[in-house]
Amino acid sequence: MIKFFLMVNKQGQTRLSRYYEHVEIHKRTMLEAEVIKNCLSRSKDQCSFIEYKDFKLVYRQYAALFVVVGINETENEMAVYELIHNFVEVLDKYFSRVVMNVIISNK
Amino acid sequence: MRMPAPIRLRELIRTIRTARTQAEEREMIQKECAAIRSSFREEDNTYRCRNVAKLLYMHMLGYPAHFGQLECLKLIASQKFTDKRIGYLGAMLLLDERQDVHLLMTNCIKNDLNHSTQYVQGLALCTLGCMGSSEMCRDLAGEVEKLLKTSNSYLRKKAALCAVHVIRKVPELMEMFLPATKNLLNEKNHGVLHTSVVLLTEMCERSPDMLAHFRKLVPQLVRILKNLIMSGYSPEHDVSGISDPFLQVRILRLLRILGRNDDDSSEAMNDILAQVATNTETSKNVGNAILYETVLTIMDIKSESGLRVLAINILGRFLLNNDKNIRYVALTSLLKTVQTDHNAVQRHRSTIVDCLKDLDVSIKRRAMELSFALVNGNNVRGMMKELLYFLDSCEPEFKADCASGIFLAAEKYAPSKRWHIDTIMRVLTTAGSYVRDDAVPNLIQLITNSVEMHAYTVQRLYKAILGDYSQQPLVQVASWCIGEYGDLLVSGQCEEEEPIQVTEDEVLDILESILISNMSASVTRGYALTAIMKLSTRFTCTVNRIKKVVSIYGSSIDVELQQRAVEYNALFKKYDHMRPALLERMPVMEKVTTNGPTEVVQTNGETEPAVLETKPPPSGLQPGSQANDLLDLLGGSDITPVIPTVPTSKPASAGGELLDLLGDLNLTGSPVPAPAPQISQPPFLLDGLPSQPLFNDIAAGIPSITAYNKNGLKIDFTFERSNTNPSVTVITIQASNSTELDMTDFVFQAAVPKTFQLQLLSPSSSVIPAFNSGTITQVIKILNPQKQQLRMRIKLTYNHKGSAMQDLAEVNNFPPQSWHGCNHADSQSSVASPESVVMSERCRDPRNSWFSTMVNFKAF
């Protein structure tokens, strides 16, 4: 099951967050900060799945934007990896490149 | 006075973009919020939609927007589609079931579910499926179910997802959706198929009846999957050349759930799984994702062995792939399957070992776990070499786990004692500070038992700490060995390797420097001091030096060292005649493996058997040295059941008699050697309670007893003889609490003498409510093949009044019927005052009085 879906830029600011389970507001910020820290500290040649607390993070980097999805153990990590790419492609097609720049740019 | 028309959303976004600092942005937003609030107050219908949209944008940026909740409701109630759209969106983002206002939506949603426009119905379904509370779901489930049966695929797929949410919130409503699922899989539309599969998966996961019911769908699912694979290119479903991989993965997952533990379904799936496995393109990640799901499914159902081998080969191929993600996934899956398909996984061992050298931390961890699982008698030498190399170079977070893993594997599969000791030495020298605490006593026991290797071992250990004595576990083991076998060291008797020339003074030098060094922990110092003391009987020319060292530490600040030094001083002065006997060589210890059936302390199924060793009781006894030295002579301690001492073939020695006298639970089944004084009831340090049958166990006729009653915690034992096996006694313990506060995290542990076997089943709970208002029950099964007198030591841990409590106790008031009545008539009579028996026995032998002073001194 997907627990949350985040889009974060390289500076650590959350651009989009969607939680599919109830999480307190202040806990969300803490969670996001830690998750981002984990993802940003990974190098290029490390795998995209991180084990974090009792669930897994699947992340994917697009230029200056990180898309991070938190899943539990029953989910297929590679399918979710594919899903992230699909989502980004859909955004791209639908908003024809505007959204990408808008999200990544410094606001 | 009318306000100017509120600005559009785009304007707002543009304005906010121009802000250069966070403070500026906040100002703009606050201004806009104020404008929006006054606009809401005016009840302006025309611009409400625009205002709420702006509010949602500001919410996305992280600012509070709760004052817009009611406005969302008003928008939902409006007739315009644009209003409804923003209203529902707002409801999904701003409202959830903890706000009371959400219930007001129920009626709106109900009407909208029956709306003429499908888009409105879709909006309502989405919202309900997103944030519907249990009450809302209960009210509206009927509508959702109706929509599930419609022919409109747009609505059907949304209704299916909404049904999933309803079932999650209110599981009892699952049956309501059952008839609607009949035709779900007949759809052509992938959207409906996908959501239907999700719905079916959810139902099967929640209810075994549903699972059984849906097994008949397996052929249909297989057919759908087949069509997906065989069909040609379809532009609307294509992802990197594969047709709708997401649906394929979902179907595979559902098949996995349906095929688990069911032969017929698994049979039906075999072909399609093989087909998917062989036909899927592996050049892109998509294909690999599908293969991964297939492998998981094959492993989980009752597939035939050929298919399993195919699956493992796929995983092996993954391991060779360049992509890290795939390697990680492969290692994870192999770890899951290594227990069941051990041989197949062995074939890929070399690849797995290569992964130990990977750069990625997650991959290294998986590879390490998998390597340990693959070690067996044949490959242990090679594997150990690789693992030791890994231990050298890995990150600190791995070292502790790796070291313990190596110890375990070495213990199980060591080809020779020398290899075993070499391996342990290697681990201690490379990762000595990361080794776990329980490793030290285990190693000491191992070394003691390899009698022929003593000289070699002590020599190697000596050489190891000569250079560097900062790694505490290494130094502890080395000091202990030097203390025990120092005479072998100086006499240069080693056969295995070149003996080194060491003088007694050099040995004492190194031990003294350990004592003085700042790097040594208190425990280590204790080891060193005791070692020096032991050498007083093994060395010949340096006894005066030893006496001096010992007396210096009699005034040490460290209480532990001081106590030891003073006692050793006393040994030198008043009890010099006893010194040789006390300090002689340790007997060979009974080998207790961590998963053997001998005196193993079993806990409730959750923790491993070795747990008692790593938890020193709050009285501050160190698990290491004390257990080994003085308390061993007192006859074993509760803390380390791993080192029970056995009276060996030294009949007349004082050591042997003292062991017997102070007894413990480690009496062997055979009669104790003759010179030991006959004691009918071995004296225990903790008194057992007089037995009181609380309620007669009429069925079995065995009276029950109160095993423990202290600090408000009472534990009663009731007995039953097992019907199937007459040597098995089944004890039901009941723990009750008469204080005013509950006791939480209650854990009951028990140990029995070696000749018994104990099995502890899970407790009913871990909380004992106060005022005797409830009890925890737990069942213990004891196998007593030799019909010995039943005795037990118990350890209780729990939290009470905010602090952690721990207690050890002996239970020795078992009614004779529980162990089939031995013919020891005497043993039954002395329940009244074992203490007096102890004192009288002790007084008889002058040597014992020294020990009782020792005991008192210790307690002080």
Give the span between the Cα atoms of B378 and B590, in whole angstroms.
Answer: 27
Residue A6 class from Cβ within 10 Å (0-12 exposed, 13-18 middle, 19+ buried)? Answer: buried
Give the tens place of pLDDT for each residue, B217-274: 899 999 999 988 888 788 888 888 888 899 999 999 999 999 888 888 888 889 999 9
User: What's the one-letter identity of residue B347?
Assistant: R
Q: Is residue B62 predicted with pLDDT exceeding 80?
A: no
- Closest partner residue to B324 among A46, A76, A86, by Cβ? A46
Q: Is the ipTM of this complex over 0.90?
A: no
Question: Which residue out of A1, A57, A76, A88 would a mutagenesis test of the B interface target, given it has the greatest number of B Cβ atoms within 10 Å?
Answer: A76
Q: Is A83 on the interface with B (CB under 8 A)?
A: yes
Residues in chain B within 8 Å Cβ distance of A9: none
Give the span between the Cα atoms of B382 and B455, in whole angstroms.
Answer: 27
Secondary structure of B434-484 in the HEC alphabet? HCCCCHHHHHHHHHHHCHHHHHHHHHHHHHHHHHCCCCHHHHHHHHHHHHH
* Tokens describing residue A62: 């697009």
Q: Which residue has the tokens 């390597």?
A: B371
Nearest-Cα residue of chain B relative to residue A14: B61
Radius of gyration of chain A (CA): 13
- Closest partner residue to A81 among B325, B359, B362, by Cβ? B325
pLDDT classification of B590: cutoffs 50, 70, 90: low
Question: What's the pLDDT score for residue B793?
Answer: 84
Question: What's the pLDDT score for residue B158?
Answer: 93
Question: What's the pLDDT score for residue B449?
Answer: 81
Q: Are the beta carbons of B156 and B187 closer than 8 angstroms? A: yes
Q: Is residue B691 predicted with pLDDT exceeding 50?
A: no
Average pLDDT over residues B200-210: 91
Higher pLDDT, B194 or B597: B194
Which range of B220-229, B427-436, B777-786 scores highest in mean pLDDT? It is: B220-229
Interchain contact, B362 vs A46, CB within 8 Å: yes
* Tokens describing residue B722: 């097992």
Average pLDDT over residues B35-41: 89
Interchain contact, B327 vs A81, CB within 8 Å: no
Give the tens place of pLDDT for each residue, B332-390: 888 888 888 788 888 888 888 888 888 788 888 888 888 888 888 888 888 888 888 88
Q: Are the beta carbons of B92 and B47 closer than 8 angstroms? A: no
Give the span between the Cα atoms of A101 and A29, in whole angstroms.
Answer: 24
Interchain contact, B329 vs A77, CB within 8 Å: yes
The DSSP H or E segment spanning B590 is none
pLDDT classification of B199: cutoffs 50, 70, 90: very high
Question: What's the pLDDT score for residue B833?
Answer: 43
Question: What's the pLDDT score for residue B723?
Answer: 64
Give the tens place of pLDDT for each residue, B697-740: 344 467 788 888 888 888 888 887 766 677 778 888 888 888 88
Question: Which residue out of B15, B93, B94, B239 would a mutagenesis test of the A interface target, given it has the greatest number of A Cβ atoms within 10 Å?
Answer: B239
Give the tens place of pLDDT for each residue, A31-88: 888 888 888 888 777 788 888 888 889 998 887 788 999 998 888 888 899 899 888 8
Question: What's the pLDDT score for residue B156?
Answer: 92
DSSP label at B587?
P
For B394-435, give the DSSP string: S-HHHHHHHHHHHHHHHHHH-SSHHHHHHHHHHHHHHHGGGS
Give the span between the Cα atoms of B45 and B717, in whole angstroms.
Answer: 75
Q: Is residue B594 predicted with pLDDT exceeding 80?
A: no
- Closest partner residue to B328 among A45, A49, A86, by Cβ? A49
- Closest partner residue to B239 among A43, A77, A86, by Cβ? A86
Give the span between the Cα atoms of B196 and B177, in whole angstroms.
Answer: 11
pLDDT classification of B160: cutoffs 50, 70, 90: very high
Question: What's the pLDDT score for residue B690?
Answer: 41
At residue B507, what are phi and psi to the nearest 5 degrees?
A: -65, -45
Provide the pairing of β-strand A49-52 with A14-19.
Answer: unpaired
Average pLDDT for chain B = 77
pLDDT classification of B3: cutoffs 50, 70, 90: low
Residues in chain A within 8 Å Cβ distance of B324: 45-48
Q: Is residue B838 predicted with pLDDT exceeding 50?
A: no
Question: What's the pLDDT score for residue B656?
Answer: 39
Q: Is residue B603 predicted with pLDDT exceeding 60?
A: no
Please identify among residues 41-80 of chain A the ones whose CB lies closer than 8 Å to any CB of chain B: 43, 45-51, 76-79
Partners of A8 in the β-ladder: A14, A66
Average pLDDT over residues B301-308: 86
- Closest partner residue to B325 among A14, A16, A47, by Cβ? A47
Q: Is residue B523 predicted with pLDDT exceeding 80?
A: yes
Question: What's the pLDDT score for residue A101?
Answer: 58
* Tokens describing residue B276: 């998917």
Residue B531: which of B500, B498, B553, B558 has the closest Cα?
Answer: B553
Chain A: give the shortest CA distance to residue B743, in Å. 28
Q: Is residue B845 predicted with pLDDT exceeding 80?
A: no
Give the tens place of pLDDT for each residue, B742-773: 888 888 888 888 778 788 888 888 888 888 87
pLDDT classification of B93: cutoffs 50, 70, 90: confident
User: What's the one-letter identity of residue B3?
Assistant: M
Question: What's the pLDDT score for residue B592?
Answer: 53
Q: Which residue has the tokens 């030290």?
A: B440
* Segment among B166-170, B179-183, B340-344 with least mean pLDDT: B340-344
Q: Is residue B680 predicted with pLDDT exceeding 70?
A: no
Residues in chain A within 8 Å Cβ distance of B245: 79, 82
Question: What's the pLDDT score for residue A99?
Answer: 57
The DSSP H or E segment spanning A5 is strand A2-9
Q: Is residue B859 predicted with pLDDT exceeding 70?
A: no
Counting every residue written for chain B, the total comes to 860
Interchain contact, B325 vs A49, CB within 8 Å: yes
Radius of gyration of chain B (CA): 37
Average pLDDT over residues A14-31: 79
Counting every residue written for chain A, the total comes to 107
Question: What's the pLDDT score for residue B647?
Answer: 35
Residue B819: which of B782, B779, B778 has the closest Cα?
Answer: B782
Average pLDDT over residues B533-537: 86
In percent, how much of chain B has pLDDT > 90?
10
Partners of B778 in the β-ladder: B733
Instruction: State the helix-helix crossing angle for B134-148 and B118-131, rounded to 10 degrees.
Output: 140
Higher pLDDT, A44 or B67: B67
Average pLDDT over residues B500-525: 84
* Tokens describing residue B81: 């589609």
Average pLDDT over residues B289-306: 88
Question: Which residue out of A61, A82, A86, A104 would a mutagenesis test of the B interface target, given it has the greatest number of B Cβ atoms within 10 Å?
Answer: A82
Question: What's the pLDDT score for residue B857?
Answer: 39
